Amino acid sequence: MKDWKKFLYILAAFLVCFYLPVESMRFNNAVFEALALVKWYAREHVLLCLVPAFFIAGAISVFVSQASVMKYFGAKANKFLSYSVASVSGTILAVCSCTVLPLFSGIYKRGAGLGPAVAFLYSGPAINVLAIILTARILGWQLGLARAIGAVVFSVVIGLLMHLIFLKEERARQVSGDFNVGEVKEARSLGKTVLYFVSMVAFLVFANWGKPLEGDHGIWSLIYQYKWWIAGFSLTSLVVMLFRWFKKDELKEWTGATWGFTLQILPLLLGGVLVSGFLLGRVGHEGVIPSRFVAALVGGNSLWANFFSSIVAAFMYFATLTEVPILQGLINSGMGKGPALALLLAGPALSLPSMLVLRSIMGTKKTVVYVSLVVVMATITGMIFGAIVK
């Protein structure tokens, strides 16, 4: 049987090579777009987004006790508190659908319930304050307000539905996973632990603070002007804390956990970005699928237009804030307001790279259900919004 599988793999590889359309300009352009997107991703998001996120995830898995995670996010935790904290986490973490994955993996493997963990997973990239403000300013206050309300509601509803759908499995996981731990004596005070995590999160947030609009002289512009000073202060504070408060063995365990997350997640992300770039290209550029086909299919406010917008958004990779200029171009090409909201609710929270990683974290079934819930809810919400603003 194994020999037959090897033969089929070899045959499939041969047929791909035999029929490779290298003479097609669109194919060659799609290959270029795939490589260009992964190059851009590596330069813009790996060092300042993913690397800090990996270290934060490693810190969660090593320095945050299971008792603490279970207290706020566990199956027996206060549901109102769990979902309230998880649903607004994106207001603090200005991250994309891929950067939030190590953080989600950290709390989920530490014993967090599936519902609150998924609410955190969705809200991280979806409820980005800067992105919502940019949406309102460029695409109109109606889309900005609808995106803000929809993102908070989505995170809670999707989290609760995932909890109910996989209730039996989650109960078994809580029993077999040895998460039912008592109070653990911490090596450091709560205040020191909080400062340690705040310094890492501050570096992640301010090092990736986006450039404000031209002519904007408000608080966002002021923070952008001094963002490297704030990020540098955060990083310096972190280094001082590490030397003063942590033992050598603890630091070794932390870096080991961080490396484990990196090996699990980074290869899948880069592979997914390559595929996403090949199929859909970058902002302002085309992949193997022509952009005019997408624009033609999302006009009006039909069920198909909203569903198609949700599906395309779910698989396409959106870095933080890039969904706004993409939508601006699509709306100018005739995209309806309903499908536009559907894209805003499905796109930033999902991507093909993130799906590949999620499958390795929580399994195929849970990943498929999560993606389906996001797409279906984005479709329905888009239709309702499109009917209201028509």
Q: What is the 3-state secondary structure (H, E, C) of the chain?
A: CHHHHHHHHHHHHHHHHHCCCCCCHHHHHHHHHHHHHHHHHHHHHHHHHHHHHHHHHHHHHHHCCHHHHHHHHCCCCCHHHHHHHHHCHHHCCCCCCCCHHHHHHHHHHCCCCHHHHHHHHHHHHHCCHHHHHHHHHHHCHHHHHHHHHHHHHHHHHHHHHHHHHCHHHHHHHHHHCCCCCCCCCCCCCHHHHHHHHHHHHHHHHHHCCCCCCCCCCCHHHHHHHCHHHHHHHHHHHHHHHHHHHCCHHHHHHHHHHHHHHHHHHHHHHHHHHHHHHHHHCCCCCCCCCCHHHHHHHCECCCHHHHHHHHHHHHHCCCCCCCHHHHHHHHHHCCECHHHHHHHHHHCCCCCHHHHHHHHHHHCHHHHHHHHHHHHHHHHHHHHHHHHHHC
pLDDT for 221 equals: 81
How far is residue 112's CA from residue 253's CA, in Å, rounded to a whole number? 21
Catalogue the long-range contacts made by 245-252 (C-beta closer than 8 Å, 24 or more residues apart): 245/188, 245/192, 245/196, 247/187, 250/62, 250/63, 250/187
Q: Is residue 50 part of a domain?
A: yes
- DSSP helix/strand/coil, 212: coil
Q: Is residue 229 part of a domain?
A: no
* Residues 221-248 as b or e (16 or more Cβ within 10 Å = b): eeebeebeebbeebbebbeebeeeebee
- DSSP helix/strand/coil, 205: helix
Q: Taking Cα atoms as reference points, which of 330, 45, 82, 58 lies closest to residue 204?
A: 45
Task: Provide the β-strand partners of residue 299.
Answer: 335
pLDDT for 97 equals: 65
pLDDT for 229 equals: 93
pLDDT for 94 equals: 53
Q: Is residue 240 part of a domain?
A: no
Q: Is residue 132 part of a domain?
A: yes
Q: Is residue 376 part of a domain?
A: yes
Do you know the residue count of the chain?
A: 390
Contact present, 101 and 352 (Cβ < 8 Å): no
pLDDT for 161 equals: 93
The H helix count followed by the E strand count for the chain is 20, 0
- Could you report the per-residue pLDDT of 266-309, keeping only the tens digit for each? 787 788 778 778 877 776 777 887 777 767 788 778 899 999 99
> How far, in Å, are 170, 218, 344 from residue 226 at the CA level?
45, 13, 29
Q: Is residue 57 part of a domain?
A: yes
Q: Is residue 264 part of a domain?
A: yes
How crowded is the C-beta side of 112, counted as CA atoms within 13 Å?
Answer: 27
How far is residue 292's CA from residue 320's CA, in Å, rounded to a whole number? 24
Residues 6+ apart with CB under 8 A from 339: 298, 299, 301, 305, 306, 308, 309, 382, 386
Domain count for the chain, please give it: 1
Residues of the chain with pLDDT under 70: 1, 64-72, 74-77, 89-99, 128-130, 133-134, 174-188, 213-217, 283, 294, 318-322, 325, 328-329, 332-333
Structure tokens at 359: 């499958």
Residue 373, domain extent: 25-171+247-389
pLDDT for 258 equals: 86
Q: Is residue 157 part of a domain?
A: yes
How far is residue 342's CA from residue 378's CA, in Å, rounded to a whole number? 5
Contact present, 283 and 326 (Cβ < 8 Å): yes
pLDDT for 113 equals: 79
Structure tokens at 367: 């990943």
Tell me which residue has tokens 């899948």.
Answer: 268
